[in-house]
Amino acid sequence: MPRILITGTSSGFGLAIAKLFIEQGWEVIATMRNPSNESLPISDNVRVLPLDVTQEASIAAAVAQAGPVDALVNNAGVGMLNVLEGADIARARELFDTNVLGTMAMTRAVMPGMRQRRSGVIINISSSVTLRSLPALSIYSASKSAVNSFTESFALEAAEFGVRVKLILPGSSPDTAFGRNAVARMGMNVPEAYQDFVEAYLRSLRIATDKTQAGDVAQAVWRAVTDEIAPMRIPAGADAETWFREANFPPFDSLGAAIPSLDR
């Protein structure tokens, strides 16, 4: 039975991804900071483990308990909705520690086993906000852009050992607690000078029609894991697909041509 480790499965995208892989007969290692299996299906195929991706000891313990995995989904992350002048820089560091360094640390923890077996898939959940500049998301967008760059470069390293690395780009999602949790955890102290602007922007988000469902992200991850010829970058959701087409990325394989230049 194939085994997948998913970070951040308490709600939203992570929970939807876990449910889909359980339904498909995979052994699912569902991880979260505060372990609970209340939302997960009752199944012999699921194990819930505590994991804080910002703590090396927590990562080492979870990876050891999980055992060899065929796939890793780096989904754990936090958001920040605020203009730069209203943001707490200490909170911004916390965001980068989770979204960027947490993704790198989890990848580094599972890669030795995958490299030795010469097989495995690593999926990093980014965001479609990296495809189009939006206000009040500058710090969050910067963190996810860092995830994109890391993933694209690391994919070239991992390919040498038969390990596939993929990037999922979800759109905005009305059916997850991500936005509420972002405000609760990171705060949203908008300076008075920006309040009218931010309120108008938030109203425009609420009336937008093309939005992403958690199931869209789960299906994109399923494709990335099970389809060996899936592209490296995969948008998830109607809005993300539209923005992705407009971005008009070159095929990722063409980046391989840059490798010889490293010798110069």
Given 144, 166, 194, 201, the catalytic residue: 144
Structure tokens belonging to residue 230: 């899936």
209 torsion bin: left (phi>0), alpha (psi -120 to 50), beta (else)? alpha
Given 19, 140, 194, 211, the catalytic residue: 140
Closest CA to 155 of 143, 146, 147, 164: 164
Residue 211 designated active-site = no
| Rg over CA atoms, the chain | 18
Q: What single-letter DSSP state applies at residue 47? A: E
Please tell me the distance from the alpha carbon of residue 214 to that of residue 231, in angstroms, as a whole number: 20
Closest CA to 7 of 57, 95, 68, 66: 66
Residue 194 designated active-site = no
Catalytic residue annotation: 140, 144
